[in-house]
Chain A
Amino acid sequence: MKKFVSILLLFTFGLSSCEKDDICDANTPTTPRLVITFYDDIDPTTPAPVVNMTVKGQDQENPIIFNKNATDDNQYYVNASTVSIPLRTDSDTTTYEFTYNASGTGRNTDILTFRYTRESIYVSRACGYKMNYILDQAAPVVRTDPDGVNWMLNINVLNRNIVSEDETHINIVF
């Protein structure tokens, strides 16, 4: 009888100790970023890396950090052909300032406003909800230019539905 009771108690304590499975797995697809692929005007079929580009959200203090390991301004520079940027989850528009060659004298800034509708989708107990976006059909990207010279030549929406980071949503030719 006593043996049985102790086993019973052990069993219940054992169960209560494995309660915490509430951590959202990093591999779970959650809110996707907007994926932009850049192409050089000379060869518009092969993705081409940008040069020391920074991407700063409007009214944000600092640009997006692309190199966590770098120091000073170097952590903001991106030299890749594909760039992923987060869209606002609390607004139907997100505005970014894209600065090409931000470190040099030939810097050039183009401002893009992404317009979209948002959809909250249940993921799991641990992750909560994620946000998916659908870029506006009529005017998905609105460009303004503060310095009079556009460094982006062409902006193409490839995929209006932003549900995954595994695909490119927008192509930019420079």
Chain B
Amino acid sequence: MFLGQAQETPASKPKTETVKPEIQEVKKDSVIKTDRYGLRVGVDLYKLTRGLYDKDYKGIEFVGDWRLTKKYYLAAELGYENKTTDDDRLNSSAAGSYVKAGFDYNFYENWLDMENLITIGMRGGFSAFSQDLNSYKIYNSHPYWGEQPSVLVNQKYNGLTASWLEVVLGLKAEVFDNVFVGFGVQLKLLATNKKPSGFDNLYIPGFNRTYDGSFGVGFNYTVSYFIPIYKKKIMAPEKSTAPKKK
């Protein structure tokens, strides 16, 4: 009897509990969540610090995004690079500015009022630059007369341009109030490439190293600051309180 009673009482308790969530849910629906909208500006730490330990590199990249909707962000990067590429047979420098613009789509569902981002996005990039051919070697597979030393030329090629498309995977986490650190990788596809006559664009600022095909890669490590400009009130959807699926 005791046991029966003991079982009955817990059984009756869940009944009250199943009622309670209904009340809670009604309450949650009435809770108003706010999304902050604004401008996030930052800088690529990798490019900024690389100049300290790599004497062949100087560069800077500013990043920015503007929240358009709940999930879409307008995004852009603006940068300058001056890089000397020392290959086995060629030594050349590329210097110039670039701009990239496009969008990011945040597919990360934040809990409560968190504002982290995992994004996939696209950019169009454009670079205007110059190239210096510093020295080259003659490739001779029959070096009977000995390997000739590098030929110094210091030939400058001005007025070069290139444009490309990027798919960007990114991650931004808020580490302090309004301060985000981010990491992103880019897969690039060269669309136009104005090469100098008698030479090639071995490095394109913003696009990075060129390969035999038209693909390229890149990454950045950013720190940025979010400037809130306005808030949008939204009803917290029920789904957001549901546990995250693995």
Residues of A whose CB lies within 8 Å of any CB of B are: 1, 4-5, 8, 11-12, 15, 21-22, 24, 26, 30-31, 33, 57, 60, 64, 85-86, 88-90, 94, 120-131
CB distance A122 to B199 under 8 Å? yes
CB distance B90 to A89 under 8 Å? no
B70 contacts chain A at the CB level, 8 A cutoff: no
Q: Smallest CB-CB separation from B144: which chain A residue? A: A86
SS of B interface (majority): loop
For A22, list chain B residues within 8 Å (CB).
87-88
For B142, list chain A residues within 8 Å (CB).
31, 33, 86
A129 to B143, CA, bound (A): 14
For A129, list chain B residues within 8 Å (CB).
89-90, 136-139, 151
A121 to B183, CA, bound (A): 41
B148 contacts chain A at the CB level, 8 A cutoff: yes
Besides A122-B136, A125-B200, 13 other A-B contacts (C-beta < 8 A):
A8-B171, A12-B219, A21-B211, A64-B144, A86-B142, A88-B145, A89-B140, A121-B198, A125-B202, A126-B87, A126-B88, A127-B139, A128-B89
A125 to B140, CA, bound (A): 15
B190 contacts chain A at the CB level, 8 A cutoff: no
Mark B139-162 against chain A: 1 for CB-CB distance below 8 A, else 0. 111111100100100000000000
B48 contacts chain A at the CB level, 8 A cutoff: no
B54 contacts chain A at the CB level, 8 A cutoff: no
Name the 9 nearest CB pairs between A and B, nearest first.
A128-B89, A86-B142, A30-B139, A31-B140, A127-B139, A89-B138, A128-B137, A129-B136, A15-B217
Interface centre among A1, A64, A128 (most CB of B within 10 A): A128
| A69 smallest CB distance to B (angstroms) | 17
How many inter-chain contacts with C-beta < 8 Å in the A-B complex? 91
For A30, list chain B residues within 8 Å (CB).
139-141
Q: A1-B118, A4-B118 are in contact. Are A130 and B139 (CB under 8 A)?
A: yes
CB distance B171 to A120 under 8 Å? no
A47 to B52, CA, bound (A): 64
| A94 smallest CB distance to B (angstroms) | 8
CB distance A12 to B139 under 8 Å? no
Mark B205-235 against chain A: 1 for CB-CB distance below 8 A, else 0. 0000001100001010000000000000000
CB distance A4 to B140 under 8 Å? no
| B92 smallest CB distance to A (angstroms) | 9
Q: Smallest CB-CB separation from A62: which chain B residue? A: B144
CB distance B138 to A21 under 8 Å? no
Contact check: which of B89, B145, B219 meets A89 at CB < 8 Å? Answer: B145
CB distance B198 to A86 under 8 Å? no
Q: Smallest CB-CB separation from B153: which chain A residue? A: A120
CB distance A5 to B171 under 8 Å? yes
Q: Smallest CB-CB separation from A91: which chain B residue? A: B145
27 A–B pairs (Cβ distance < 8 Å), ordered by A: A1-B118, A4-B118, A5-B171, A8-B171, A11-B185, A21-B211, A21-B212, A22-B87, A30-B140, A31-B138, A31-B140, A31-B142, A33-B142, A60-B144, A60-B145, A121-B198, A122-B198, A122-B199, A125-B87, A125-B200, A126-B89, A127-B139, A128-B87, A128-B137, A129-B90, A129-B136, A131-B140
Mark B89-132 against chain A: 1 for CB-CB distance below 8 A, else 0. 11000000000000000001000000000100000000000000
